């Protein structure tokens, strides 16, 4: 048998007992560890498990309806009855937590988002029902005003269009406390107002909710990747953009500052959002904190994969898994992803 270099590289040769002298005298041959599937599994540095996944879900008013979100194929707005069935199913698949987002009818929106702290509001009712029907699953509620405001901003807006920080934090505090009262396991401020984590922690503790955790959207960027999510909730800002509160895509050091502040204020888990275009931020944050780090694989990241797959241009399953493992590799301990159910199904059958 010839031992020419090209022949050594061929796949038939990989399994043969090749004793012929090689053309080079390499000391290190990293490919040795890649030769068999078993070995590759044994030296694999990162794994994706169902325990890493948090499933973001959309709830709407009404009964016995689900509406697919056009720009997020495979994702639906569910009425509460159908949401409960879906949650029971993902719980059986091993998913540990869902993150709830409400679709609020226009008529219930106002300038200050007061529906957000209605003790009988959609989120509050949903939390109560989920905790009763599927007690094992953790329920994470979003703390931000955008689904509840007529203007679509995450905060209270003054007559000049300025988003007011401290006035907004007062509403966020009421919202978080009402979610905790409904039974939320974890509240997740996604608004990017300054000081909200500390204010929410203080209020939760004062009301006796010392064990309700805070998942802080610490490094949340002003991103065009949120487009499909805003379609889902019909929550796109009616004027301007979110750049005076969400972060500039060009900044990394500032993300570390935001994370440090949220930790100092009492966050239990810190988050980077979006994930895919911000893997470097996930990596830097992970190195700087002892807390678990979450990453949000956002709606636009989901939509891109779905769209390319529908065109037949990429292998959806492989690209999905490669994308999610990249987030784990970057340092994410937890991933919020609309792929959670699909991944859980794949992992359950593998
Ligand atoms: C609202 C919120 C947004 C997302 C989660 N919470 C949108 C926004 O900030 O405009 C986006 C999630 C996604 O795109 O999947 N505060």
Tens digit of each residue's pLDDT (9 = 90 or more) over 290-339 = 999 999 999 999 999 999 999 999 999 999 999 999 999 999 999 999 99
Between 14 and 245, where is the model more confident?
245
128 is catalytic: no
- pLDDT at position 25, please? 87
| 20 pLDDT more than 90 | no
- Section 146-161 average pLDDT: 95
Contact 262, 218 (CB under 8 A): yes
Q: Which of 98, 99, 143, 146 to mutate to test the pocket of ligand 1 (most atoms within 8 A of CB)?
A: 146
Contact 113, 68 (CB under 8 A): no
**Which atom of ligand 1 is closest in space to residue 237's alpha carbon?**
10
- Whole-number Å distance, alpha carbon 216 to ligand 1 midpoint, is 13
Residue-wise pLDDT tens digits, 204-262: 999 999 999 999 999 999 999 999 999 888 889 999 999 999 999 999 999 999 999 99
Interatomic CA distance for residues 299 and 257, integer angstroms: 26
Pocket of ligand 1 from Cβ distances under 6 Å: 142, 144, 146, 154, 190-191, 226, 229-230, 242, 298-299
**Which atom of ligand 1 is closest in space to residue 302's alpha carbon?**
15
273 is catalytic: yes
| 186 pLDDT more than 70 | yes
Distance set, CA 329 to CA 50, 135, 169, 315 (Å): 16, 31, 34, 21
- Whole-number Å distance, alpha carbon 51 to ligand 1 midpoint, is 23
- pLDDT at position 152, please? 94
Instruction: Exactly one of 109, 128, 220, 286 is catalytic; name it.
Output: 220
Instruction: Exactly one of 128, 242, 273, 341 is catalytic; name it.
Output: 273
Q: Which of 59, 172, 229 to mutate to test the pocket of ligand 1 (most atoms within 8 A of CB)?
A: 229
pLDDT band (50, 70, 90) for residue 19: low
Residue-wise pLDDT tens digits, 164-185: 999 999 999 999 999 999 999 9
CATH code 3.20.20.70 for 44-348 = yes
Angle in degrees, CA 17, 23, 24, rounded to 5: 105
DSSP string spanning 312-347?
Answer: TSS-HHHHHHHHHHHHHHHT-SEEEETTHHHHHHHH
- Whole-number Å distance, alpha carbon 325 to ligand 1 midpoint, is 22
What is the chain's length?
350
Average pLDDT, rounded, for the chain: 94
User: Where along the chain do its domains lie?
Assistant: 44-348
Parallel, antiparallel or unpaired: strands 72-79 and 53-60: parallel
- Whole-number Å distance, alpha carbon 179 to ligand 1 midpoint, is 18
């Amino acid at each position: 048998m010839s031992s020419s270099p090209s022949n050594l590289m061929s796949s038939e040769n990989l399994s043969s007992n090749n004793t012929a002298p090689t053309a080079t005298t390499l000391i290190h041959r990293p490919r040795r560890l890649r030769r068999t599937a078993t070995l590759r599994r044994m030296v694999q540095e990162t794994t994706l498990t169902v325990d890493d996944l948090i499933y973001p879900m959309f709830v709407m008013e009404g009964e016995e309806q689900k509406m697919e979100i056009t720009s997020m194929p495979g994702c639906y707005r569910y009425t509460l009855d159908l949401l409960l069935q879906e949650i029971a199913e993902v719980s059986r698949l091993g998913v540990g937590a869902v993150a709830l987002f409400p679709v609020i009818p226009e008529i219930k929106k106002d300038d200050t988002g007061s529906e957000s702290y209605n003790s009988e509001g959609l989120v509050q009712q949903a939390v109560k029902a989920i905790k009763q029907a599927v007690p094992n699953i953790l329920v994470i509620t979003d703390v931000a005003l955008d689904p509840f405001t007529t203007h679509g901003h995450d905060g209270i807006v003054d007559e000049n269009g300025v988003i007011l920080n401290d006035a907004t934090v007062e509403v966020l505090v009421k919202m978080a406390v009402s979610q905790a009262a409904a039974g939320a396991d974890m509240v997740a401020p996604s608004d990017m107002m300054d000081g909200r984590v500390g204010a929410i922690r203080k209020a939760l503790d004062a009301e006796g909710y010392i064990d309700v955790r805070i998942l802080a959207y610490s490094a949340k960027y002003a991103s065009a990747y949120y487009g499909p999510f805003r379609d889902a909730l019909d929550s796109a800002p009616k004027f301007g953009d979110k750049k005076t509160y969400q972060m500039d895509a060009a900044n990394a050091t500032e993300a570390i500052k935001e994370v440090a502040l949220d930790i100092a204020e009492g966050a239990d888990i810190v988050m980077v959002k979006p994930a895919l275009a911000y893997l470097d931020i996930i990596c830097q944050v992970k190195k700087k904190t002892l807390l678990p780090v979450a990453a949000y694989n956002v709606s636009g990241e989901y939509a891109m994969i779905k769209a390319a797959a529908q065109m037949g241009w990429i292998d959806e399953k492989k690209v999905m898994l490669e994308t999610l493992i990249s987030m784990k590799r970057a340092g994410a301990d937890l991933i919020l992803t609309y792929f959670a159910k699909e991944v859980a199904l794949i992992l359950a059958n593998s």
